C-alpha cells in the first residue's frame, strides 16, 4: 500500500501525517489499539456499527441507534435519502426531486453518534470485519463491530443491460429527471416535425412492467398528455398521444390479486392506456421496441420514449457476502438470511430490505424499515448483556400495499381487505405524506398535489438537454476513452 494523495487512483491508503483527513480508523486501531470515531477524533472504545445504504433501511437503523452507546458510520453512494415510491411524480413533473430526496446528513444531524460518509461500497471482508468504499478514485477502509447492509436494489433488465440506454428504469433521481426530459422532449420534437410517421413515433410512450411503478407511470403519462399539456401546442394534439403498458405476466398488479388488478386495468383503459399482457420484450433500440407474445406473434412498436419498470436486482454486495459465507442467493440477487436477518457464521452482520430473501417479506419499504429497526434493537440489547444465541426471529407485520392509478383512483390491499377508487386514493395520499421526511417536504408536496388535482397544473416541467441525454453522452465518452486506451495502453497506467 502507498500513502494517500491527490493522485490516489483507488488503492488502499496508508496513513499520511500530512493528510490526516485520509487516515481511516482501521490503521489507527492497529497502531494505537484504540478505536476512533472518525479521522482525527479522540480515541473511543464504543461499539462501532457500520450501516451501508441511506434508504429506508439504513436511515431507520441509524435513527433507532440515536441514543445507543455506539458509534455509527453510514456509508452511502448518494448524499440523499430517496423516497422512491414518488419517483414517478418527479418524472412526470408533479413534484421536485428535493421534496423526496432530502440530504441524509441533515436528517441525521442530531444523531451525534452518527457520521455520514459518501462513497460506493466495493468490498466487505467478513473475516477481518472491514468495509471498503470508493469516492472519486480514493478507497477507504472502515472497520466494524456490527454491520447492517441495506444497500437496496437496482433495475433488472434480465441479462439485457444494453436496454438501459434506451429504456431508463425508475430507481434513482437521475432516472426520474432523465425520463422527464425524454417524455417532455418527445412532445417538443413532435411539435417541430412535419413527418406523420415520426410524429406518431414521438407521441408513443411504452412502459414495460405492470407492477405498481409501471401502473403509476402509465397513468401519469396519460394524464399529462390529456390534461396538463392539452392546448399547449399548435401543430400537435397532445391528447392523441399513445401510452402502452406491457408485461410478460397475464395480469396487471399480480401481487395485489385479480380483483384489484382488474380494477386498476379498467381505470387505465378509461384513461386511454393500451394494456398488452403476455408480452415479452425481446429488443430495445433508439427507435422502438420488439415484443413477442405468448401465442408466438411478434410485433415491432415504433416509439422514442420507453420506461423500464419490469424487474429489480439486489445490490451485488449480496453475492459478495454469499461467496464468503456459502449463503444462497436467488435469481434477483437477494441473499437468503437466517431468521434473525444475519448471515451464516456472522451473527454481527445483518442484511435487510431488498437485499434480504425472507419468506413472507415483500420487497417494499416496510420490509426494510422493520428489518432495520429489528437489527438495531438486537445490537442495543446485546450491548446491554443479552445473549445472541437467544434472539427471537424477525417477524414482519404486513401493513398492506397500494398503488395509485390516476387522479382520484388508487387500489389498496391490507390483509384480506381490498378496496379502490376515491377512498383508496385518499388512503394513498395520507400514507405517503406521513412517510415523507420533514414537515417542509410534506407541506410542499401537499401543495403540489393540490395544484395538480384542482387545475391539472404541474409545477416541475422544466427540462434540460443534460437531463435527457447525459446517459448517452457519458457512454459515448467512455467508448472514446476505451478507444484511446487501446491505442496507447500506457495511458491507463498513468
CA dihedral (289, 290, 291, 295) in degrees, to 10, reads: 160
Residue 353, helix vs strand vs coil: helix
What DSSP string describes 155-169?
A: E--TT-GGGGGTS--
- What value, to the nearest 5°, has the Cα angle with vertex 374 and ends 369 and 378? 150
Residue 216 annotated as catalytic: yes
pLDDT at 33 over 50: no
Annotated catalytic residue: which of 197, 216, 258, 486?
Answer: 216
Three cell numbers written together for 214: 409501471
User: For cell 396538463, what's the residue?
Assistant: 228
- Residues with Cβ within 8 Å of 298's Cβ and at least 6 positions away in sequence, in order, are 282, 290, 291, 292
Its pTM stands at: 0.85
Strand partners, 464: none
What's the rounded Cα separation, in Å, for the pair 441 and 438? 5
pLDDT of residue 431: 87
What's the rounded Cα separation, in Å, for the pair 174 and 168? 10
Residue 2: how many CA atoms within 13 Å on its side-chain side?
Answer: 8
Mean pLDDT of 422-430: 92
End-to-end CA gap in the chain: 17
pLDDT tier at 182, thresholds 50, 70, 90 = very high
For the segment 192-239, what is each residue's pLDDT rounded down to a tens digit?
999 999 999 999 999 999 999 999 999 999 999 999 999 999 999 999
The dihedral through the CA atoms of 370, 315, 84, 239 has a sign that is negative
- Residues with Cβ within 8 Å of 337's Cβ and at least 6 positions away in sequence, in order, are 327, 343, 350, 351, 356, 357, 358
- Residues with Cβ within 8 Å of 268's Cβ and at least 6 positions away in sequence, in order, are 215, 218, 219, 222, 245, 252, 275, 405, 406
pLDDT at 81 over 90: yes
Mean pLDDT of 138-162: 95
CB distance 58 to 51 below 8 Å: yes
For the segment 335-368, what is each residue's pLDDT rounded down to a tens digit?
999 999 999 999 999 999 999 999 989 888 999 9
User: For residues 371 and 453, which has the higher predicted lDDT (pLDDT)?
Assistant: 371
Mean pLDDT of 289-318: 95
Mean pLDDT of 370-380: 97
What's phi and psi for 308, nearest 5 deg? -110, 120
A 10 A CB-CB count for 207 gives 29
For the segment 430-486, what is each residue's pLDDT rounded down to a tens digit?
988 888 888 888 888 888 888 887 777 898 999 988 777 766 666 666 667 777 767
- Residues with Cβ within 8 Å of 62's Cβ and at least 6 positions away in sequence, in order, are 51, 72, 74, 108, 111, 114
pLDDT of residue 4: 45
Mean pLDDT of 378-392: 94
pLDDT at 1 over 80: no
- Residues with Cβ within 8 Å of 419's Cβ and at least 6 positions away in sequence, in order, are 411, 412
Mean pLDDT of 265-276: 97
The closest of 492, 42, 432 to 216, measured between CA atoms, is 432
What's the rounded Cα separation, in Å, for the pair 340 and 394? 5
Amino acid at each position: 500500500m502507498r500513502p494517500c494523495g491527490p493522485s490516489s487512483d483507488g488503492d488502499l491508503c496508508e496513513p499520511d501525517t500530512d493528510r490526516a483527513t485520509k487516515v481511516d480508523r482501521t490503521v489507527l486501531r492497529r497502531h494505537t489499539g484504540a478505536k476512533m470515531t472518525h479521522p482525527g477524533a479522540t480515541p473511543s472504545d464504543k461499539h462501532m456499527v457500520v450501516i451501508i445504504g441511506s434508504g429506508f433501511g439504513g436511515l431507520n437503523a441509524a435513527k433507532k441507534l440515536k441514543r445507543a452507546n455506539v458509534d455509527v458510520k453510514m456509508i452511502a453512494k448518494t448524499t440523499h435519502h430517496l423516497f422512491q415510491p414518488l419517483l414517478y411524480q418527479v418524472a412526470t413533473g408533479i413534484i421536485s426531486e428535493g421534496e423526496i430526496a432530502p440530504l441524509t446528513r441533515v436528517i441525521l444531524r442530531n444523531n451525534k453518534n452518527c457520521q455520514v460518509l459518501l462513497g460506493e461500497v466495493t468490498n466487505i471482508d467478513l473475516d477481518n470485519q472491514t468495509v471498503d468504499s470508493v469516492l472519486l478514485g480514493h478507497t477507504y477502509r472502515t472497520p466494524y463491530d456490527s454491520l447492517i447492509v441495506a444497500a437496496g436494489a437496482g433495475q433488472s433488465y434480465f441479462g439485457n443491460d444494453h436496454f438501459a440506454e434506451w429504456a431508463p428504469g425508475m430507481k434513482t433521481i437521475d432516472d426520474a429527471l432523465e425520463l422527464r426530459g425524454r417524455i417532455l422532449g418527445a412532445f417538443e420534437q413532435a411539435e417541430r416535425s412535419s413527418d406523420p410517421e415520426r410524429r406518431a413515433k414521438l407521441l408513443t410512450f411504452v412502459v414495460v412492467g405492470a407492477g405498481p411503478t409501471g401502473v403509476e407511470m402509465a397513468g401519469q403519462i396519460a394524464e399529462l398528455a390529456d390534461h396538463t399539456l392539452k392546448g399547449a401546442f399548435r401543430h400537435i394534439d397532445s391528447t392523441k398521444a399513445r401510452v402502452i403498458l406491457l408485461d410478460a405476466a397475464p395480469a396487471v398488479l399480480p401481487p395485489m390479486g385479480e380483483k384489484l388488478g382488474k380494477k386498476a386495468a379498467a381505470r387505465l383503459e378509461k384513461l386511454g392506456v393500451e394494456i398488452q399482457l403476455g408480452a415479452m420484450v425481446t429488443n430495445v433500440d433508439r427507435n422502438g421496441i420488439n415484443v413477442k407474445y405468448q401465442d408466438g406473434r411478434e410485433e415491432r412498436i415504433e416509439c422514442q420514449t420507453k420506461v423500464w419498470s419490469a424487474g429489480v436486482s439486489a445490490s451485488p454486495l449480496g453475492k459478495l457476502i454469499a461467496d464468503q459465507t456459502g449463503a444462497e442467493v436467488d435469481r434477483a440477487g437477494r441473499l437468503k438470511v437466517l431468521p434473525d436477518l444475519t448471515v451464516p457464521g456472522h451473527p454481527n452482520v445483518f442484511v435487510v430490505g431488498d437485499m434480504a430473501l425472507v419468506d413472507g417479506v415483500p420487497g417494499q419499504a416496510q420490509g426494510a424499515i422493520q428489518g432495520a429497526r429489528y437489527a438495531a434493537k438486537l445490537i442495543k440489547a446485546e450491548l446491554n448483556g443479552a445473549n445472541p444465541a437467544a434472539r427471537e426471529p424477525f417477524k414482519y407485520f404486513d401493513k398492506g400495499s397500494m398503488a395509485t392509478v390516476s387522479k382520484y383512483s388508487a387500489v389498496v390491499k391490507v390483509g384480506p381487505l381490498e378496496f379502490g377508487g376515491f377512498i383508496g386514493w385518499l388512503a394513498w395520499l395520507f400514507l405517503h405524506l406521513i412517510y415523507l421526511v420533514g414537515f417542509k417536504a410534506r407541506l410542499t408536496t401537499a401543495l403540489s398535489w393540490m395544484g395538480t388535482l384542482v387545475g391539472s397544473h404541474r409545477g416541475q416541467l422544466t427540462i434540460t438537454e443534460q437531463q435527457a441525454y447525459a446517459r448517452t453522452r457519458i457512454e459515448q465518452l467512455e467508448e472514446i476513452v476505451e478507444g484511446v486506451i487501446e491505442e496507447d495502453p500506457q495511458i491507463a497506467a498513468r
